[in-house]
A and B are shown apart, each in its own frame.
Chain A
Amino acid sequence: MKIIMVDPSKCTGCRSCEIACSFEKLRECNPSRARIHVISNPITGKNLPIVCQQCRDAPCKAVCPTQALYEDEKTHAIVVNKNKCIGCRQCVMACPFGAIDVYLDIGHSFKCDLCGGDPQCVEACTEHALTFIEETRESRAKNRQVAATFVSSTQFTDTDAADLSDEAYTEWKKVV
Chain B
Amino acid sequence: MYGWVGKIVRVDFTKKKITTEDLPKDLRDTFIGGRGINSKILYDEVPPNMDPFDPQARVIIGAGPFIGTLVPTACRGTITHKGPFTFAFCDSNFGGYFSPEMKYAGFDHIILQGRSAEPVYLWIDDGTVEIRSAENIWGLDTLTAAQALEKELEDPEIHTMMIGPAGENLVRTACVMVDYWRAAGWAGTGAVFGSKNLKAISVRGTQGIKVADPNRFEAICKKARNMMLHGPRTPLYHRYGRLSNIESLRHRGGDGVENYRIPDMPESGFETFNSENIRQTIYTHREGCFNCPIGCGHCFKVEVDGGEIHASKIEYAPAGDVKALGIYNPKFLARWVYEVNKWGLDTTGTQNVIAFAMECYENGLITDKDTEGIELTFGNEEATLEILYKIVNREGIGDILAEGTNLAAKKIGKGAEKYAMTIKGGRLHLDPRIGWGLMLAHAVASRGADHLKGTPWIEFWDFAAIKDSNLGERLFGHPRAADASTPEGKEYTVKWYQESKGIIDALGFCAGQDSSTSFDYPGHEEMAEMLSALVGKEYTVEDLKIVGERIYNVEQAYNVRCGLRRKDDSIPERFFDKDTPTSENAKIKTVDRKKFESMKDKYYSLRGWDTDAIPTRKRLEELGLHDIADDLDALRKEHV
Contact = CB atoms under 8 A, between A and B. Distances in A.
Contact of B180 (A16, A31, A42): A42
A38 B77 CA distance: 22
A45 to B, nearest CB: 4
A26 B208 contact: yes
A65 B293 CA distance: 42
Interface in A3-42: 9, 12-16, 19-20, 22-23, 26-33, 42
B69 A19 contact: yes
B293 A27 contact: no
Given A33-B208, A43-B147, A14 B288 contact: yes
Contacts of B218: 23
Nearest to A20: B70
B291 A12 contact: no
Interface stretch (B38-46, B209-217, B463-471, B515-523): B209-217
Contacts, number: 87
B288 A29 contact: no
Interface centre among A15, A16, A20, A29 (most CB of B within 10 A): A29
Q: How large is the interface on A (under 10, 10 to 19, 20 to 34, 35 or more residues)?
A: 20 to 34
Interface in B74-105: 97, 100, 104
A20 B69 CA distance: 9
Contact of A45 (B70, B211, B291, B299): B299
B552 interface: no
A89 B100 CA distance: 29
Given A27-B211, A31-B104, A45 B312 contact: yes
Contact of B287 (A20, A32, A45): A45
Contacts of A20: 70
A30 B208 contact: yes
B286 interface: yes
Given A28-B210, A29-B70, A30-B208, A45 B310 contact: yes
Interface in B335-374: none
Nearest to A15: B290
A56 to B, nearest CB: 30
A118 interface: no
Contacts of A28: 208-211, 214
A120 to B, nearest CB: 9
Nearest to B214: A27
**Most chain B C-beta atoms within 10 Å of own C-beta, residue among A26, A44, A126:** A126
24 contacts: A12-B286, A12-B295, A14-B288, A14-B293, A16-B72, A16-B291, A19-B70, A19-B290, A22-B208, A26-B208, A29-B68, A29-B70, A29-B208, A29-B209, A30-B206, A30-B207, A31-B104, A32-B104, A42-B146, A42-B312, A43-B147, A47-B287, A126-B225, A126-B229
Interface of B: 68-70, 72, 97, 100, 104, 143, 146-147, 179-181, 205-211, 214, 218, 225, 229, 284-293, 295, 297, 299, 310, 312
Interface of A: 9, 12-16, 19-20, 22-23, 26-33, 42-45, 47, 126-127
